[in-house]
């Protein structure tokens, strides 16, 4: 487990959502204070506003990767291609490990089940039944591996 994977897991267990946990785990490396990272990623939890779409851990991973390797010039076609290639690699790694990048699939929910915007109370039972702590660890570890690989080249 990477340092960021451990930190993301701890953040999730302290009450942050999945996206906040992953982006927050990288805040120092990204030059962000944790509060800013938590605010930026706050709406991505629960598969984007608890709609059970793209997993928040995946969204946090992509936000952190973009901060490290993204582009800002709208005419930078090569950089755009490289960014999309990076995102696809990260998504594929997560999907290979977990079977999906969709929150509802990862939680085993039906399409219309459990999309109420009210977050679940964080109890010992909640943490037992949710795979989210492992998913934030996986997302942070996948990004750490990508960074190590990128630094070798």
Please name which of 22, 59, 45, 55 lies closest in space to residue 120, comparing C-alpha atoms.
45
Q: Where are the domains of the chain?
A: 3-152
Give the model confidence (pLDDT) of 120-133 as tens digits: 889 888 888 899 99
Distance CA 89, CA 85 (A): 6
Exposure string (b/e) for 15-39, b if CB count within 10 Å is 16 or more?
ebbbbbbbbbbbbeebebeeeebbe
Q: Can you read off the two tokens belonging to residue 153?
A: 């080249």
In the predicted structure, residue 145 carries a pLDDT above the cut 80: yes
Distance CA 66, CA 61 (A): 9
Give the model confidence (pLDDT) of 59-111 as tens digits: 999 999 999 999 999 999 999 999 999 999 999 999 999 999 999 999 998 76
pTM of the model: 0.95
């Amino acid at each position: 487990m990477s340092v960021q994977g451990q930190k993301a897991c701890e953040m999730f267990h302290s009450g942050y959502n999945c996206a906040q946990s992953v982006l927050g785990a990288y805040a120092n490396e990204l030059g962000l204070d944790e509060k800013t990272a938590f605010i930026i990623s706050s709406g991505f939890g629960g598969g984007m506003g608890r709609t059970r779409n793209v997993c928040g851990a995946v969204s946090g991973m992509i936000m952190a990767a973009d901060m490290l390797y993204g582009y800002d010039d709208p005419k930078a076609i090569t950089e755009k291609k490289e960014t999309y290639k990076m995102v696809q690699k990260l998504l594929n790694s997560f999907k290979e490990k977990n079977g999906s990048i969709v929150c509802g699939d990862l939680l085993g929910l039906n399409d219309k089940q459990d999309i109420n915007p009210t977050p679940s109370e964080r109890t010992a039972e909640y943490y037992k039944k949710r795979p989210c702590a492992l998913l934030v660890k996986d997302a942070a570890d996948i990004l750490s591996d990508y960074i190590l690989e990128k630094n070798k080249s």
